[in-house]
Amino acid sequence: MKFALVLIGLCALAAADTVDDTFYKHQTQVLHLVEHIYEPISSHYEDLTTIKKTYDPLQHLDNFKDGDHVKHFVHDVTHGKYLAHDEIFNIFHPHHRRQMVYLFEILYGAKDFDSFFNMAVWARDHMSPRMFLYAFSVAVLHRTDCKGITLPPAYEITPDMFLTTDVMRKAYQAKMTATKTVIPMKFTGSIKNPEQRVAYFGEDIGVNSHHSHWHMDFPFWWKRSYDVTKDRRGELFFYMHHQMVNRFDAERLSNWLPQVEPLNWHHEIEEGFAPAAMYFNGQEFPMRPDGIHFHDLPWFTVKDTEDYEDRIRNVIAKGYVKASDGHTIFLNGTEGINILGLVVESLDHDYNRHYFGKLHSNAHVLLSKVTDPEQKFGTPPGVMEHFETATRDPAFFRLHKHIDNLFKQHKDMLTPYTKEELDFPGVTVDAVKVVGKSEDSTANQIVTFFDESHINLGNMWVHTPEKVGIEVTMKRLNHEAFKYVITATAEKETEGIVRIFLSPTYNWFGQEITLQDGHWGAIEMDRFPVKLTAGENVITRSGKKSVVTIDEPMSFAEIHKAVADKDATHFHKEFRHCGFPHRLLVPKGRPEGMHYKLMVVITDYHKDVVVPDMDVEHMDKLQSVGYCGVMEGKIPDGKPMGYPFDRRISCEESFITKNMKFVDITVKTRV
């Protein structure tokens, strides 16, 4: 028996060449700047206070790509034309967004790190905290001289955007009385609300954090004039949200709930939602009772949104779209999904942007403002207007199911993959097993459970005595470690890409889900390159290495410690903040065990990979590329995202070629 090469992971990649004293200094400066974000710059940090006292952007215009831009910005900010400090920054508000983008462009265009950071200190000192934080974070994620810098978890920088009001109030009491406190946080809602059974997923701070980082890596306001092209960003928009919806559906099935229904502009929004959360300025996130209908807003109407959607459905049905210069572009190739993603999210594209409007953004705003559409009561934005809070609301998944159905309409029009396209001649997958902690290889079982995480709230307020310790605890879905063991035979030495998906075996009615019906709901678990030797290969892959997930982010305290220790193993130039939380890789399942199909497909590496010189070892080191793509250059795997389950399957028997193997596994939740 021969063993396929089991490839080393990202964490093992040496970081020493990218991490030096300058890096540590910059990392520390970034940490200091985002601490106590709602408070003035901390007098604790001399590095910041010196800049604050001495730096005048107008004296350094040559250090920026566009000095006039800086001049206008400083003028407008200092003359009160920008969002006030205690107003709520809303990325979907055109004026807020314009102001934020203006700052981002200045920060992104700074000619060196010091100019960038000095300007950031100035902006932090003069602007709305979350507007500053957003522009600064996106700049850190995109500047080449910030590569490897780790931003603390969003739920530690702005805990108010992740935690409930009762928790924040208790934390404040603890701070005022300097009392060491651990506060348990419950999910919102009550047992009377069936949606509460899946609140652990939508309200998971890791899910919200992932979603927020995804939108920072792929901002919908990103301009092509910036020098980074976002490869397949439209397709990524489709795919990441498609997978979130599929995962939500799997959690619903685990809890005896039917799949989420798509929103309909003319039906009531059945489920209400009470976020039980408060903004930093004391305004409460609005709640939505059950059974509300959509209303027109003063800026656009439900009909406008429908019209945009009709136009999109129309081009899907026709199979082509006109570019702004009159060219016809057909959608029936693999590029079609990317174009549709650009159109639906209204990114900076060439396909008649005014004609297609802003379907996705409008939908978020319509939902968010549904209880005060005229803004008669000055209600602040709802959770749907912030990427870090949107998934809390079950209506988020209903909206994205609705949008996902547009993409499905397109994919259903494509010709199903032929046997020749699906096959990998000479490669056979003989067996697939899942081996859990017990090492009982016959079990094919993964065990999930709820763990308890602690979040330190020490960053929330300045002057919290250091040793007090205020923490919040919450239950979070997790799973026991497991690995896949795949046996494959190759006629000759070759290289492949292993694609692993999970799909529930039975629907809500208890009927077996056929591949024809269930392919669209497949959940991607992993995708990795592999070297195959001639003969039998046993491929062992830890679930932990999944290309769709990331590990727990480092806390403020852990990053500080890693810097103090100069521990280079914690930092890496290619580090990504975006990625689905690893804890949630496996859907919850049921106490008695829930049946799933684990579907493994090996495809031809040499046909799939579109980046010349990308070898197997390099590709395997890319982190969270599954849902988060790459930050620059091309995504190496050229197959459509979700392949081969993205297109219609007309006949199960002819679909399954010998390079695929589907096995039954059980997911059992420990109670």
Q: How many other CB atoms sit within 10 Å of the CB of residue 492?
A: 10
Whole-number minimum distance, CB 297 to ligand CUO, in Å?
Answer: 17
205 is a site residue for ligand CUO (CB under 6 A): no
CB nearer ligand CUO, residue 252 or residue 400: 400
User: What residues from 623 to 652 belong to the interface with ligand CUO (CB under 6 A)?
Assistant: none
110 is a site residue for ligand CUO (CB under 6 A): no
CB nearer ligand CUO, residue 368 or residue 448: 368
Whole-number minimum distance, CB 396 to ligand CUO, in Å?
Answer: 7
Quote the CA–CA distance of 336 and 352 in Å, as a whole number.
Answer: 15
Quote the CA–CA distance of 524 and 579 in Å, as a whole number.
Answer: 13
Quote the CA–CA distance of 540 and 3 in Å, as a whole number.
Answer: 9
Size of the site for ligand CUO (CB under 6 A): 8
CA 499 to chain centre: 20
Quote the CA–CA distance of 619 and 284 in Å, as a whole number.
Answer: 46
CB nearer ligand CUO, residue 391 or residue 549: 391
Whole-number minimum distance, CB 488 to ligand CUO, in Å?
Answer: 36
Among 349, 358, 364, 369, binds ligand CUO (CB under 6 A): 364
Helix axes 336-345, 394-413, angle to 10 degrees: 150
The interface mask with ligand CUO, positions 260-289, x = CB under 6 A, is: ------------------------------
Whole-number minimum distance, CB 384 to ligand CUO, in Å?
Answer: 8
386 is a site residue for ligand CUO (CB under 6 A): no
149 is a site residue for ligand CUO (CB under 6 A): no
Q: Which residues contact 186 (CB under 8 A, 6 or more apart)?
A: 164
CA 174 to chain centre: 33
Long-range pairs, 38-41, Cβ under 8 A, ≥24 = 38/129, 38/280, 39/461, 39/462, 40/125, 41/121, 41/124, 41/125
Q: Which residues contact 555 (CB under 8 A, 6 or more apart)?
A: 152, 153, 156, 455, 456
Q: Which residues contact 9 (CB under 8 A, 6 or more apart)?
A: 545, 620, 621
Whole-number minimum distance, CB 336 to ligand CUO, in Å?
Answer: 20
Helix axes 113-126, 46-54, angle to 10 degrees: 80
390 is a site residue for ligand CUO (CB under 6 A): yes
User: What residues from 314 to 353 belong to the interface with ligand CUO (CB under 6 A)?
Assistant: none
Q: Given the structure tokens 């995962």, which residue do they identify?
A: 247
Among 96, 97, 210, 211, binds ligand CUO (CB under 6 A): 211
Sign, CA torsion 641/642/646/650? positive
Among 97, 142, 241, 577, binds ligand CUO (CB under 6 A): 241
Q: Do 502 and 522 contact (CB within 8 A), yes or no?
A: yes
CB nearer ligand CUO, residue 52 or residue 241: 241
Whole-number minimum distance, CB 220 to ligand CUO, in Å?
Answer: 8
User: Closest-CB residue for ligand CUO?
Assistant: 390
Whole-number minimum distance, CB 340 to ligand CUO, in Å?
Answer: 14
CB nearer ligand CUO, residue 215 or residue 570: 215
CB nearer ligand CUO, residue 122 or residue 387: 387
Q: Do 359 and 305 contact (CB within 8 A), yes or no?
A: yes
Annotated catalytic, 261?
A: no
Whole-number minimum distance, CB 29 to ligand CUO, in Å?
Answer: 30
Quote the CA–CA distance of 107 and 324 in Å, as a whole number.
Answer: 31
CB nearer ligand CUO, residue 36 or residue 211: 211
CB nearer ligand CUO, residue 63 or residue 208: 208
253 is a site residue for ligand CUO (CB under 6 A): no
CB nearer ligand CUO, residue 214 or residue 279: 214
HEC letters along 641-665: CCCCCCCCCCCHHHHCCCCEEEEEE
Residue from 114, 107, 112, 115 nearest 142 by CA: 107
Whole-number minimum distance, CB 361 to ligand CUO, in Å?
Answer: 8
The interface mask with ligand CUO, positions 394-433, x = CB under 6 A, is: ------x---------------------------------
Quote the CA–CA distance of 458 and 165 in Å, as a whole number.
Answer: 17
The strand pair at 494-504 and 594-604 is best described as antiparallel
Q: Which of 345, 385, 388, 524 is catalytic?
A: 345
- Contacts to ligand CUO by CB under 6 A: 211, 215, 241, 360, 364, 387, 390, 400
- Which residues have a catalytic role annotated? 345
